[in-house]
């Protein structure tokens, strides 16, 4: 089966049944994608309105007419941030600790060489957020095996 399409200028285009079927399938797929995007837009618009309302209520509840400042605690702010799906405010901490270690089977000519090997080649690494500062190696003892 063949379909012939004539545009307003008289130009004709022939379409096979396979071409029409493919075009209709593509149209259905595009409609489905458009519907998905419409739903996403609606969800995002609803979420945006909810966030606006929560932020307004947060500040409005703490506002006294005629005052130029609003007072709230970090816990209050974190509660608001969490309620709107944002990250909470965090404090910075310093952690000080001790790492004990035992390294066996070090080949060396002497105890001093074994100690030097550990002091020169033992490293510390921290892969989390934060900075590793001021670390040192203190060898407590060296024993021959």
Global model pTM greater than 0.85: no
Residue 68 placed within a domain: no
Angle, to 10 degrees, between the axis of helix 74-83 and the axis of helix 17-62? 160
Residue 87 placed within a domain: no
Which of residues 14, 43, 62 is at a domain's end?
Answer: 62
User: 38 is written with which tokens?
Assistant: 């419409």
Q: Please tell me whether residues 9 and 58 are part of one structural domain.
A: yes
Q: Please tell me whether residues 58 and 6 are part of one structural domain.
A: yes
What is the span of the domain harbouring residue 129? 93-145
Q: What is the pLDDT of residues 60-83, one digit of tens each?
A: 999 999 899 999 999 999 999 999
Q: What is the pLDDT of residues 24-59, one digit of tens each?
A: 999 999 999 999 999 999 999 999 999 999 999 999
Check whether 139 has a pLDDT greater than 90. no
Instruction: Report the candidate in 91, 144, 87, 141 with the shortest Cα–Cα distance to residue 118.
Output: 141
Q: Please tell me whether residues 142 and 98 are part of one structural domain.
A: yes
Q: What is the pLDDT of residues 93-122, one digit of tens each?
A: 988 888 888 999 999 999 999 999 999 999
Q: Please tell me whether residues 7 and 46 are part of one structural domain.
A: yes
Residue 86 placed within a domain: no
**CA distances for 77 relative to 33, 47, 55, angstroms:** 38, 19, 10
Residues with Cβ within 8 Å of residue 41, at least 6 apart in sequence: none
8 Å CB contact between 62 and 71: yes
Give the pLDDT score at 22.
92
Residue 71 placed within a domain: no
Instruction: Report the candidate in 130, 35, 59 with the shortest Cα–Cα distance to residue 91.
Output: 130
């Amino acid at each position: 089966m063949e379909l012939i399409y004539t545009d307003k200028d008289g130009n004709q285009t022939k379409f096979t049944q396979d071409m029409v079927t493919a075009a209709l399938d593509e149209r259905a797929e595009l409609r489905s994608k458009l519907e998905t995007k419409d739903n996403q837009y609606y969800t995002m618009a609803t979420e945006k309105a909810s966030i606006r309302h929560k932020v307004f209520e947060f500040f409005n509840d703490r506002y006294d007419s005629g005052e130029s400042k609003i007072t709230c605690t970090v816990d209050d702010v974190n509660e608001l941030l969490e309620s709107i799906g944002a990250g909470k405010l965090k404090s910075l901490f310093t952690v000080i600790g001790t790492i004990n270690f035992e390294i066996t089977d070090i080949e060396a000519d002497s105890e001093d060489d074994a100690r030097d090997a550990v002091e020169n080649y033992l490293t510390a690494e921290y892969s989390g957020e934060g900075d590793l500062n001021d670390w040192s190696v203190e060898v407590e003892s060296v024993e021959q095996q």
